[in-house]
């Protein structure tokens, strides 16, 4: 957006849509965490801007379930890269405002991010459709643990019980989505949402775009906050071409008259 008047009018419209809702779904991607200093995965400055790894293979192949089984050291090399990028990140205004909105309406978050920042900001109803990098599980036995970060982990961490390779509780390329998260998403979508807001995601996965498209088809409010184009940009009722933190901070101010939580 350019110019104060168009920006203010857009935020006022966004605020009116939120104020009229009783249930809201926020769908978030890498763009929301970019305002916490984390690089996105693709594009200029992204973790995988070069498209290929040092080994000359696509990052999707390196970070696949098949690679974890066949060459765990290579897969874990790039798992460590992702965790290292997220290690010192803190929730930003966008995460905080979504959590704050829980005091006003029934808020659910569907996130593709594995950084855990929504929960750290205080959001309670979070569907982590791609998992959480802070959880670890053994590939051979029932051992599980949570860690604050990977600073103390070996390049290829092994299970203290059976010695097999540990893995992060995230969805690697080529793997199925977690059944429990999918079931919860379907259940909440069946209940319906008055507003669906997509923030910082290209919406290339069908299960990320579908809630927006379904809401639009049903006549419910739909909003996208994204500085770039996405698969749902042409479908939403209101498109805000801006970054997540600034937009959500402005939304809070429009709803309360203050830039701080009320």
Q: pLDDT per position in the chain (262 positions), as tens?
A: 434 668 999 999 999 999 999 999 999 999 999 899 886 655 434 555 555 678 888 888 999 999 999 999 999 999 998 888 778 889 999 999 999 999 999 999 999 999 999 999 999 999 999 999 999 999 999 999 999 999 999 999 999 999 999 999 999 999 999 999 999 999 999 999 999 999 999 999 999 999 999 999 999 999 999 999 999 999 999 999 999 999 999 999 999 986 555 4
The pLDDT value given to residue 85? 79
Cα–Cα separations (whole angstroms), residue 70 to 64, 142, 176: 10, 21, 18
Contact 245, 5 (CB under 8 A): no
User: What pLDDT score was predicted for residue 1?
Assistant: 40
pLDDT value for 147:
95
User: In this structure, what are the phi and psi dihedrals at residue 26, rounded to the nearest 5 degrees?
Assistant: -105, 120
Cα separation, 201 vs 40, in Å, equals: 10
User: What SS3 state is found at 248?
Assistant: helix
Domain 59-87+136-170: CATH class, spelled out = alpha beta
pLDDT at 255: 96
Active site residues: 130
Confidence (pTM)? 0.91
C-alpha distances in Å from residue 133, one per residue of 116, 165, 207, 228, 261 = 8, 15, 21, 26, 29
pLDDT score at 182? 97
User: Collapsing DSSP states into helix, strand and coil, what is residue 108?
Assistant: strand
Residue 84's pLDDT is 87
How many other CB atoms sit within 10 Å of the CB of residue 189?
17
- Is there a shared CATH topology between the 4-37+91-130+176-256 domain and the 59-87+136-170 domain? no
- Gyration radius from the chain CA atoms: 19
Domain boundaries, the chain: 4-37+91-130+176-256, 59-87+136-170
Specify the CATH class of 4-37+91-130+176-256 in words.
Answer: alpha beta
pLDDT at res. 45: 46
Distances (CA, A) of 101 to 89, 94, 127, 220: 22, 11, 17, 19
Place of tokens 């604050």: 148
In total, the chain counts a number of residues equal to 262
Pairing of strands 126-128, 106-111: parallel
């Amino acid at each position: 957006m350019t110019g104060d008047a168009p920006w203010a009018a857009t935020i006022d419209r966004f605020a009116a849509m939120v104020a009229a809702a009783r249930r809201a779904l926020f769908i978030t991607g890498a763009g929301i965490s970019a305002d916490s200093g984390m690089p996105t995965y693709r594009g200029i400055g992204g973790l995988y801007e070069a498209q290929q790894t040092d080994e000359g293979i696509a990052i999707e192949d390196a970070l696949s379930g098949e690679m974890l089984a066949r060459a765990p050291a290579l897969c874990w090399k790039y798992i460590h890269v992702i965790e290292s990028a997220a290690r010192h990140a803190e929730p930003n205004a966008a995460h905080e405002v979504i959590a704050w909105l829980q005091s006003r309406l029934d808020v659910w978050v569907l996130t593709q991010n594995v950084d855990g920042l929504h929960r750290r900001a205080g959001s309670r109803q979070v569907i982590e459709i791609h998992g959480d990098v802070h959880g670890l599980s053994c590939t051979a036995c029932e051992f599980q643990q949570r860690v604050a970060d990977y600073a103390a982990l070996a390049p290829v961490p092994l299970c203290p019980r059976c010695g097999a390779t540990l893995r992060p509780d995230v969805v690697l390329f080529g793997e199925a989505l977690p059944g429990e998260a999918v079931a919860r998403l379907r259940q909440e979508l069946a209940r319906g949402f008055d507003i669906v807001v997509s923030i910082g995601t290209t919406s290339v996965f069908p299960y990320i775009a579908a809630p927006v498209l379904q809401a639009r088809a049903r006549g419910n409010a739909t909003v996208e906050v994204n500085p770039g184009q996405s698969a749902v940009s042409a479908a939403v009722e209101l498109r805000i071409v801006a970054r997540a933190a600034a937009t959500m901070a402005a939304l809070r101010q429009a709803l309360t008259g203050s830039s701080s939580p009320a």
